[in-house]
């Protein structure tokens, strides 16, 4: 089982963040804005297991925009926005976002230009439940296990708070809690899955941006969606981490994503790798180093004996 | 109207839920709210703009990785572990093969090793919070986790050094003395591992600097451990005929330590952004200071010609240098973890998974095909509408 998070459907409503907090009874993170976009949580952490990233861009994305940039998107681009069978607007804000622009696009000066060059990318980020998980392989206590659903789960009663997993996760997901020092992250709602329910975030997502299900089915759906988007003129649409072939460093992700830009834009690493995959190099280097150290010790002792 | 108990409960918890509405029993229920204003630390806020990053995407400069959570205990442990491990190695060598008249040296080494093992355990426990958590690490044996392997090494080392030191301190019979010698040899073997594994430990992380220097780190830690151990012996010389042993060992260790700092810089420097914390800021200053002190220690040892005061000074420089190098690596690692571009650039330059994939041709092919292969043709309903 896993997640497919389709960022093109995300409207940034944060229902997933809230649902996750409610179900898992996580404390809030305060109500301060980070000072950039509408993101007030900023990153995944011990008390934030879903995080919605808001990327404000100065480049347009087909299918996204405001009624004001009718020029850019074409005269009929926002036809579907108008209520059926209704000629004019019913909005009291009609003067501000006059829908007449939809039919007869006119240049509106700086605003139109700014809006025309503007798009939002939103992405509900989560623990990736990697097929090869850095956190799991690094954990010295065996606190992190793979569940029968294929997810990666930290057993709070075993974790000893060494924090090794925190640095071993190539996505910066798992975090140590300030009060008792143990590591916490998304559990893929293990308790809900046990009860035959879907994870709280997927349940709450009003746009089906978060889809939960058997991983193969999700992959098929994702491939279909990418095709659909490309056909609609979004050539940037791509999947992130959907299979071992596309992300060999983690052998694929159980929570993969559909993106419309480079992964870096969403704070995702472009080519992550589970650190243990590289660690044989280190062990060999260490073997050489300590062999040298041992030889040096023996050598100086022997040479001193010769001198004595 | 809430009861006093409920109000107190709400105050203790600090979260925005009324405990009267339901019991808190979920996964994260015992988590307490942090002080809301203290929760956002400065570094999480947008990084200052850097001209050379123009055009390189990132999420508002926010860190990609979590900063390593370890406090000063851990670099201190790297130092203490290195000292005691290398002491055990030198002690075992002089025990087994040493010229006569170096009994005091091996005794000194055994005591240093045992004291260091105790201090190491204490530092680790201080980092974890309570002793039971140290034992927790021994509930499994997990070769993929250098921290787990290291805990086993440290445990074996502690037992062996305790036995060896006990045999050296207590007035024991010849049988026990031989057992002590055997324990010292075992301690020497474990000590080898103890000096190096800490390098493997931090290399096995996503921290760009540590992962990017994974070959140099364990060797540097071993060399630096040996240098630190001899520096300590110079500070408190055993005062018998072991002097040439200590001196030569120190020179070798110092030279190799200096060489390895250069190797590490070169390994990190393949991606300049990753090596940046070694050049700039406090971590860079510490790094340079460590190199300078190590060089000073070498020069003083070579120039001392047996003069006590100079040897003392060499010992001081060596100790300070070794400490500075470890704290520098630690601090530089933290900084590289907070710099998302260090990870991005490293991975874009083929030093992420591509590094490993190149070594495994099968995977490479899978990767190469990916671009050409069209997405599987689906027979599915509109995913936008389908929702389980
Ligand atoms: S390595 Fe990170 S992303 Fe992967 S399962 Fe562990 S915490 Fe989640
Ligand atoms: S902090 Fe807990 S879960 Fe993470 S590696 Fe340490 S023991 Fe394992």
pLDDT band for position B277 (cuts 50, 70, 90): very high
- Determine the residue of A1, A43, A133, A275 to mutate for testing ligand 1's pocket, defined as the one with the most ligand atoms within 8 A of the Cβ atom: A133
CB pairs under 8 A between A and B: 376
| CB of A238 sitting under 6 A from ligand 1 | no
pLDDT band for position A63 (cuts 50, 70, 90): low
Q: Burial code of A287-298, b = ≥16 C-beta within 10 A, e = fewer? A: eebbebbbebbb
Residue that is written with structure tokens 């095909």 in the block:
B369
Pairwise CB contact (< 8 Å): A141 & B137 = yes
Centre of ligand 1 to C-alpha B356, Å, is: 19
pLDDT band for position B254 (cuts 50, 70, 90): very high
Strand partners, A154: A144
Per residue in A251-294, pLDDT (tens digit) is: 999 999 999 999 999 999 999 999 999 999 999 999 999 999 99
Q: Which residues of chain B lie closer than 8 angstroms to A307, CB-CB? A: 99, 244
Residues in chain B: 388
Q: Which atom of ligand 1 is nearest to the CA of A250?
A: 4
Q: Which atom of ligand 1 is nearest to the CA of A152?
A: 5
**Selected residue with higher pLDDT from A77 and B351:** B351
Q: Which residues of chain A lie closer than 8 angstroms to B29, CB-CB? A: 24-25
What pLDDT does residue B386 have?
32
What pLDDT does residue B344 have?
95
Bridge-based pairing of strands A2-6 and A255-259 is parallel
Centre of ligand 1 to C-alpha B373, Å, is: 28
Tell me if B337 sits within 8 A of B68, measured CB to CB: yes
Residue of A140, A271, A303 with shortest CB distance to B151? A140
Please check the confidence at residue A70 and state whether its pLDDT lies above 50. Answer: no
**Selected residue with higher pLDDT from A28 and B154:** B154
Nearest CA to ligand 1 atom 5: A129
Centre of ligand 2 to C-alpha B198, Å, is: 17
Look up residue A135 and give its two tokens. 């956190």
Tell me if A41 sits within 8 A of A29, measured CB to CB: yes
| CB of A248 sitting under 6 A from ligand 2 | no
Averaged pLDDT, B206-220: 96
Half-sphere exposure of residue B8: CA atoms within 13 angstroms, side-chain side: 3
Question: Residue A279: which of B385, B332, B118, B145 has the closest Cα?
Answer: B145
What pLDDT does residue A122 have?
93
- Chain A CA closest to residue B226: A293
What pLDDT does residue B302 have?
92
Distances (CA, A) of A298 to A114, A170, A195, B246: 73, 41, 63, 12
**Selected residue with higher pLDDT from B342 and B20:** B342
Tell me if B86 sits within 8 A of B234, measured CB to CB: no
| CB of A169 sitting under 6 A from ligand 1 | yes
Beta-carbon count within 10 A of A196 CB: 6
Please check the confidence at residue A59 and state whether its pLDDT lies above 50. Answer: yes
Q: Which residues of chain A lie closer than 8 angstroms to B147, CB-CB? A: 138, 140, 162, 164
Pairwise CB contact (< 8 Å): A24 & B196 = no
Q: Which residues of chain B lie closer than 8 angstroms to A27, CB-CB? A: 13-15, 28, 31-34
Residue of A27, A169, A222 with shortest CB distance to B206? A169
Per residue in B138-191, pLDDT (tens digit) is: 989 999 999 999 999 999 999 999 999 999 888 888 888 889 999 999 999 999
Residues 6+ apart with CB under 8 A from A124: A5, A7, A10, A16, A17, A50, A51, A52, A53, A201, A205, A209, A210
| CB of A188 sitting under 6 A from ligand 1 | no
pLDDT band for position A308 (cuts 50, 70, 90): low
What pLDDT does residue B16 have?
59
Q: Which residues of chain B lie closer than 8 angstroms to A137, CB-CB? A: 144-145
Residue of A249, A281, A300 with shortest CB distance to B245? A300
Ligand located closest to A134 CA:
1
Centre of ligand 2 to C-alpha A169, Å, is: 11
Distances (CA, A) of B167 to B106, B180, B183, B270: 12, 5, 9, 49
Strand partners, A57: A119
Tell me if B248 sits within 8 A of B230, measured CB to CB: no
Please check the confidence at residue B381 and state whether its pLDDT lies above 80. Answer: no
Centre of ligand 1 to C-alpha B203, Å, is: 18
Residue A76, class by beta-carbon neighbours within 10 Å (0-12 exposed, 13-18 middle, 19+ buried)?
exposed
Q: Which atom of ligand 1 is nearest to the CA of A136?
A: 6
Per residue in A228-249, pLDDT (tens digit) is: 888 888 888 999 999 999 999 9
For chain A, the three-class secondary structure string (H helix, E strand, C coil) is CEEEEEHHHCCCCCHHHHHHHHHHCCCCCCCCCCCCCCCCCCCCECCECEEEEEEEECCCCCCCCCHHHHHHHCCCCCHHHCCCCCCCCCCCCCCCCCCHHHHCCCCCCHHHHHHHCCEEEEEEEECCCECCCHHHHHCCCCCEEECCCCCEEECCCCCCCCCHHHHHCCCCCCEECCCCCCEECCCCCHHHHHCCCCCHHHHHCCCCCEEEECHHHHHHHHHHHHHHHHHCCCCCCEEECCCCCCCCCCCCECEEEEECCCHHHHCCCCCCCCHHHHHHHHHHHHHHHHHHHHHHHHHHHHHHHHHC
- High-pLDDT (> 90) share of chain B, %: 57
| CB of A171 sitting under 6 A from ligand 1 | yes
What pLDDT does residue A71 have?
37
Pairwise CB contact (< 8 Å): A294 & B89 = yes
| Rounded Cα–Cα distance for residues B181 and B188 (Å) | 10
Pairwise CB contact (< 8 Å): A248 & B136 = no
């Amino acid at each position: 089982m896993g997640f497919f998070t389709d960022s093109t459907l995300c409207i940034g409503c944060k229902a997933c963040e809230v649902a996750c907090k409610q179900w898992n009874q996580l404390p809030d993170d305060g109500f301060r804005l980070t000072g950039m976009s509408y993101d007030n949580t900023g990153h995944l952490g011990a008390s934030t297991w879903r995080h919605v990233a808001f990327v404000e861009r100065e480049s347009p994305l087909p299918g996204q925009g405001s009624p004001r940039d009718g020029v850019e998107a074409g005269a009929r681009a926002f036809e579907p926005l108008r209520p059926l069978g209704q000629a004019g607007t019913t909005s009291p804000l009609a003067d501000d976002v006059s829908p007449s622009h939809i039919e007869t696009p006119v240049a509106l000066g700086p605003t139109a230009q700014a809006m025309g060059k503007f798009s939002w990318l939103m992405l509900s980020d989560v623990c990736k439940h990697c097929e090869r998980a850095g956190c799991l392989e690094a954990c010295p206590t065996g606190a992190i296990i793979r569940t029968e659903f294929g997810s990666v789960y930290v057993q709070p009663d075993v974790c000893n708070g060494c924090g090794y997993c925190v640095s071993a996760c190539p996505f910066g997901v798992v975090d140590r809690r300030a009060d008792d020092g143990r590591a916490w992250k998304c559990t893929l709602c293990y308790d809900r899955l046990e009860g035959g329910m879907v994870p709280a975030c997927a349940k709450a997502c009003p746009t089906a941006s978060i889809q939960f299900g058997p991983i193969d089915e999700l992959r098929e759906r994702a491939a279909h969606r990418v095709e659909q988007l490309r056909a609609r003129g979004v050539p940037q649409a791509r999947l992130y981490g959907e299979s071992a072939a596309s992300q060999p460093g983690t052998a694929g992700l159980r929570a993969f994503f559909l993106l419309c830009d480079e992964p870096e834009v969403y704070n995702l690493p472009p080519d992550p790798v589970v650190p243990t995959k590289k660690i044989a190099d280190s062990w060999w280097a260490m073997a050489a180093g300590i062999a040298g150290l041992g030889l040096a010790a023996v050598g100086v002792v022997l040479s001193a004996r010769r001198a004595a | 109207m809430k009861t006093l108990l409920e109000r107190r409960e709400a105050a203790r918890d600090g979260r925005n839920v009324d405990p009267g509405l339901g019991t808190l029993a979920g996964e994260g229920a015992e988590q307490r709210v942090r002080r809301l204003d203290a929760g956002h630390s400065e570094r999480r806020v947008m990084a200052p703009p850097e001209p050379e990053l123009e055009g390189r995407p990132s999420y508002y400069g926010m860190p990609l990785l979590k900063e390593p959570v370890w406090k000063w205990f851990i670099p201190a442990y790297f130092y203490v572990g290195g000292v005691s491990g290398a002491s055990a190695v030198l002690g075992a060598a002089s025990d087994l093969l040493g010229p006569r008249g170096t009994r005091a040296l091996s005794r000194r080494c055994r005591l240093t090793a045992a004291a260091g093992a105790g201090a190491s355990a204490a530092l680790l426990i201080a980092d974890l919070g309570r002793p039971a958590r140290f034992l927790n690490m021994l509930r499994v044996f997990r070769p993929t986790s250098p921290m787990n392997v290291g805990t086993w090494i440290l445990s074996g080392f502690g037992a062996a050094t305790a036995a060896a030191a006990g045999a050296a301190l207590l007035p024991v019979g010849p049988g026990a003395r031989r057992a002590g010698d055997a324990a010292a040899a075992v301690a020497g073997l474990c000590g080898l591992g103890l000096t190096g594994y800490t390098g493997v430990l931090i290399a096995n992380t996503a921290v760009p600097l540590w992962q990017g220097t994974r070959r140099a780190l364990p060797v540097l830690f071993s060399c630096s451990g040996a240098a630190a151990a001899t520096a300590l012996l110079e500070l408190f010389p055993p005062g018998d005929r072991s002097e040439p042993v200590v001196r030569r060992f120190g020179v070798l260790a110092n030279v190799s330590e200096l060489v390895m700092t250069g190797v590490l810089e070169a390994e990190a420097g393949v991606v300049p952004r990753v090596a940046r914390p070694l050049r700039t800021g406090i971590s860079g200053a510490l790094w340079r200071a460590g190199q300078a002190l190590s060089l000073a220690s070498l020069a003083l040892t070579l120039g001392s010609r047996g003069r006590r005061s100079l040897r003392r000074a060499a010992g001081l420089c060596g100790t300070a240098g070794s400490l500075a190098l470890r704290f520098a690596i630690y601090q530089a690692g933290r900084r590289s973890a907070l710099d998302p571009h260090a990870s991005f650039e490293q991975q874009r330059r083929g030093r992420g998974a591509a590094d490993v994939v190149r070594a495994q041709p099968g995977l490479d092919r899978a990767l190469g095909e990916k671009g050409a292969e069209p997405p599987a043709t689906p027979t599915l309903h509109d995913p936008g509408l389908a929702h389980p």
